Amino acid sequence: MQQQRTAIALIFVLLIGALVVLTQLSVPLGLDLRGGAQLTIQVQTTEEITDITQDRLESVKRVIQNRVDGLGVSEPIVQTVGGDRISVQLPGVSDPAQAERVLGGTAQLEFRAQKEGTDQEFQEKFLTRDQLEAQLEELRENSEENQAEIEETLEELDQVNQEILDLFEPAALTGSQLEQARAQPAQAGNNWQVQIRFDQEGGSKFAELTRNIAGTGRGLGIFLDDELVSAPTVSSQYADRGITGGSATISGGFTVQEAEDLAIQLRGGSLPLPVEIVENRTVGATLGQESIQRSIYASLSGLILVLVFMGVYYRLPGLIADLALSIYALLTFAAYVLVGVTLTLPGIAGFILSIGMAVDANVLIFERTREELRAGKTLYRAVEGGFYRAFSSILDSNVTTLIACAALFWLGSGLVRGFAVTLAIGVLISLFTALTCTRTFLLFAVLGFPTIRKKPELFCPNLAVQK
C-alpha cells in the first residue's frame, strides 16, 4: 500500500510540473496552423555549370538554410524537391516579400581597387547613377502609366553600373572570407550600415588591398552583386601596413531593414548557383485558425468517445483508465513544449493516434485481468496477473510503433517528421500511464478499499466468483 501512495505522490508532482509548463510556455505552431509564407526556389544552371547534381543542390540548400536561420523564423522547414527545387516554409512570417529578397539574392560581396586615372570618369558615372536611381523611384510611384519608361531606365542603370564596375580592378577580396556581418546605426544621420569582420586570410588580403591604395586618392570599391555600394578612400596613414584587424564597414545609406537583410545574406554566404523564386505563397492565419478548431474538435470528440466507452464497458477499471488517459493528455502536451515540437496537422493526427495506442494497452490489461478472475483468482492476484500477462504484448506493439516512427523521422522530412515525433512521444507516455498510472490506481483501489476488493464484479460483470 505504501508503494501505491508513493507512486501517486510522484504522479501528482508530474501533473503539477506539467501544468506549470503549459501555463508558462506554449507549443509552437507550424505553417499549416500558424500561417506564414511558403517559397519554392528554382535552382538554375550557368554557362560553366550545365547540370545540377545532388551535391550542388545540397550546397544551395545549405546557403538558404543559413539565411533562413538569420531571419529568426521559429521552426522553418527547408527541403529539396525533385532534382532542382528547394521548398522553404516560414511559419509566422508576415512579410513574404522581405523573405524573398533575402533568400533569392545572390549577395556576392567583392572588394576592388579603383584603377589609376579614372577619378574624373568615376565621378561622372556615379552622378549619372544617382540621377537614374532618383528618376526610377519617381517613375515607380505611378508604375502602371510609366512601365515602358521604367524598363528603359532600368536598362540605362544596368549599363552605368557595368561601366562603373569596369573602372575597378578585378576583385582582390570576396565575401567568402567573411566571419561576421551585423547591422548597426551609422555615426551620423538616420542611416544604417553593416559592420563586417574577415577571417585571418581575409584580414591579410584586406590589409594588403588597403595598403596599396592608401594615400593615392583612389577608392576602395565595395561591390554587391556587381553593383557599387560604397567607394571610400584610404588615408595615407595606412600606407605602411594597410588597415589591420580584418574589419570594415559597408555604408550605403541603408535603412534598418536593408542593413539587416544585407547582413543576413552576407552571413549566409553567396549562392553557388543562381536561383529564381518561382512561387511565393502566403498561408493566411484564418486557414490556420480553422484547422486548429477542427483539429481540437476532432481530438476532444475522439477522447470523449473513448472515455465514455471505457467507463461503460469496463466499469471501475474503465473509469480508472479514463483518469490515466486524462493524465496522459496533459503530460503529452507538456512534453511537446519541453521537447520543442512544432505542432502541425499531421502532428495532431499523431497525437490522436497515440490516444488509440494508450487505450489499446488498457484494453489488453483489463481483458487479461478478466481472464484471471474467471480462472478463480482473487481480485488482487487477478490485477497483478493481468498486468504481468499483458506486459509483453503491450511492449511488443509499442516497440514496433517506435521503430516505424524512427524510420519515418530518419527517411521523411517536414510534416512527416512532425507526425513521427508526436506519435513517438505519445507512445512513450502511453506506456508510462498504462503500466504505471493505471496499475497504481487499480492496486490502490483494491488494497485501500475492502468494499471494492470484495466485489470483483466491478471488474468483470456477471462473474461467478469462486469462493
Contact between residue 339 and residue 421 where contact means Cβ atoms under 8 Å apart:
yes
Average pLDDT over the chain, rounded to an integer: 79
Q: Is CATH 3.30.1360.200 the classification given to domain 108-257?
A: yes
Residue 466 pLDDT exceeds 50: no
- Whether the predicted pLDDT of 107 surpasses 80: no
Residue recorded with cell 488517459: 325
Contact yes or no for 89/414 (Cβ under 8 A): yes
Superfamily (CATH) of domain 2-32+284-458: Multidrug efflux transporter AcrB transmembrane domain (1.20.1640.10)
| Structure-model confidence comparison of residues 236 and 169, the more confident one | 169
Quickly count: other Cβ atoms within 10 Å of residue 50's Cβ.
7
Tell me which of 195 and 166 has the higher pLDDT.
166
Q: Could you tell me which of 324, 274, 273, 296 has the C-alpha nearest to residue 429? A: 324
- Quick one: pLDDT at residue 102? 65
State the pLDDT at residue 465.
42
pLDDT in tens, 316-346: 888 888 888 888 888 888 888 887 777 777 7
338 closest CA partner among 11, 3, 17, 16:
17
Contact 446, 379 (CB under 8 A): yes
Distance CA 381, CA 432 (A): 21
Residue 1 pLDDT exceeds 70: no
> What is the per-residue pLDDT across 253-305, written as a single tens digit (0 to 9) for each?
778 877 887 776 666 665 667 778 888 777 665 555 666 677 778 777 877 88
pLDDT greater than 60 at residue 64: yes
Percent of the chain scoring above 90 in pLDDT: 5
Provide mean pLDDT across the span 34-52: 79
Q: If you average pLDDT over residues 366-380, what whole number do you get?
A: 80
% of the chain with per-residue pLDDT over 70: 83
Q: What is the mean pLDDT of residues 232-237?
A: 82
Instruction: Output 56 or 455, whichever has higher pLDDT.
Output: 56
| DSSP alpha helix (H) spans, 119-194 | 119-140, 147-166
Class of CATH domain 36-105+271-283: alpha beta
The pLDDT of residue 14 is above 90: no
Residue 464 has pLDDT above 50, yes or no: no
Q: Which residue in 333, 292, 426, 421 sits closest to 23, CA to CA?
A: 333
**Domain residues of the chain, as ranges?**
2-32+284-458, 36-105+271-283, 108-257
Stronger pLDDT, 247 or 112, i.e. the higher one: 112
Which of 12-21, 109-118, 210-219, 221-230 shows the lowest mean pLDDT across its residues?
Answer: 221-230
What pLDDT sits at residue 167?
93
